[in-house]
Amino acid sequence: MGNSYEAVTGRRAAILRASTGIDYDHLEQGGIAFDYEALMQQVPLTIEEVAAVQAASSVGNTPLIELHNITELVRRESEHGYGARIFVKDEAANPSGSFKDRRASLSAYFAAQNGFTGMIAATSGNYGAAVASQAARYGLDAIIIQEAFDSAGVGQPEILEKTRKCEALGAEVLQTSVGPELFYALLRTLEETGYFNASLYTPYSIVGIETLGLEIAEQMRVQTGQDPDVVLATHAGGGMVTGTARGLRKAGATNTRIVGVSVDLHGLHMASDRDFNRKSFTTGHSGFSIPFTAWPDRADVPRNAARSLRYLDDLALVTQGDVFFATELLARVEGIERGPAGNTSLAAAIALARTMGREETLVVSETEYTNAGKAPAAQLSFAASNGIDIAVGPRTEDEPGATIRFPRQLGDVRAEHIDLDRVRRSYLRKQSQEKKITAADHQFVAGELNVTEERLRELIHTVTTESSR
């Protein structure tokens, strides 16, 4: 049994079955379709039971805070009668400082229940700290595998902070150089240890987020007497969007619009050693969100439980400068110093609130903790040391990897809306490359794209016409 790249990835199905307890093959329906709801039902708990599991390890029930001062400032910049109320779910109040504790809590619960002695996660994000934290609560070992540094051995400050935090919470951390072989490293370590795969993309992880949507609906009803009009979710691999949207639906908030928001990092290659340290945001960016939205099964499990295109009503991009601005605004005007993840959505909320009536409401679905490495000055000084030109200026001059431009004033914060049909067509093109889309797949694919079957046939026609040119 060899350990070459090809040999280990060739054993992928068996390793993942053993390390998740999920037989993904049984969910397949031939062709493109698989039974998505059966995948989600691998977690045999009601949402109330999930909340109880999370409460037992101090996860969830985080405050929902109305941002009165930011709302007031937005209203000053808006036309008469405009300027929606902005709220934020303070997920930094979770044990490891982010909503990722919700994801990790169910993985730890099921790992312990099924006799695993440890958990492994391949992530450079807050999820590593969440797995480390929940593993500690359950007396499990944790290994976190992080893509952390370039070939010169230089680490991104935000990821270095996450390394520190994981180690502080008792985890073994394996820091890797740049490359998609992170998945190979994960498979090898799973095979060597026999630990549970606490993937970001199993149903354990996504069902764990549903309580966030439930809490948002319940808290908004108490605080405003109504469901939120819009929930903004910072979007990368699709977990936050999927889990929050499913939780809102389970709470009966079926008219709430879900807006995914990412930092625009167009032009930067995620597998590039050269580009690795030229970005100031290591997650919640378009380098993950666009590919994952259009092709969710590029994950570290055969079928990704995070399928954001099923739930998105809108997808927006903000600039790195917008997020730094929003981070400072939240700290200095509201007295809430938090990390970049939630502030990505806050930047879009500021822009979107100007277009909504004063009686309407927006909820930013998360905050995250901040610290050295995560703070704006840490990222900006690192960017400057990598030759990034930093200035106040028009967003037309903003070029990821080369420049960062801050908004001159609040009214300059913008959110660029992405045409979801463009992403849907990309999904169809990718599926077509893998397998032919047959009539038997239409119901599944329509659900995947959140469109009617009639609209799906139009989209397929467009893609077919494009490809035959």
Partner 1 sequence: MSGMIAEGSWVKIRFHLLETAERAAGLPIETAEHPYEVYATGRLEAAAKLGEQVTIRTQIGRTVQGELCEDNPGHWHTYGAAPAAFHEVTNYIDELRRSLRHG
Residues near partner 1 (CB under 8 A) = 4-5, 69, 72-73, 118, 141-143, 148-149, 151, 155, 157, 160-161, 163-164, 167, 170-181, 184-185, 188, 193, 269, 271-274, 324-325, 328-329, 332-333, 372-373, 375-382, 384, 390-392, 406-410
Between 26 and 274, name the residue whose CB sits nearer to partner 1: 274
Between 173 and 306, name the residue whose CB sits nearer to partner 1: 173
Q: State the nearest-atom distance from the C-beta of 3 to partner 1, in Å.
A: 9
Amino acid identity of residue 220, one-letter, is M
Q: State the nearest-atom distance from the C-beta of 268 to partner 1, in Å.
A: 11
Q: State the nearest-atom distance from the C-beta of 354 to partner 1, in Å.
A: 15
Between 31 and 393, name the residue whose CB sits nearer to partner 1: 393
Q: State the nearest-atom distance from the C-beta of 195 to partner 1, in Å.
A: 10
Between 65 and 73, name the residue whose CB sits nearer to partner 1: 73
Q: State the nearest-atom distance from the C-beta of 166 to partner 1, in Å.
A: 10
Q: State the nearest-atom distance from the C-beta of 275 to partner 1, in Å.
A: 8
Q: How many CB atoms lie within 10 A of CB 14?
A: 11
Token pair for 253:
């908030």
Between 334 and 366, name the residue whose CB sits nearer to partner 1: 334
Q: Are strands 85-89 and 64-66 parallel, antiparallel or unpaired?
A: antiparallel
Between 175 and 226, name the residue whose CB sits nearer to partner 1: 175
Between 21 and 179, name the residue whose CB sits nearer to partner 1: 179
Q: State the nearest-atom distance from the C-beta of 391 to partner 1, in Å.
A: 5
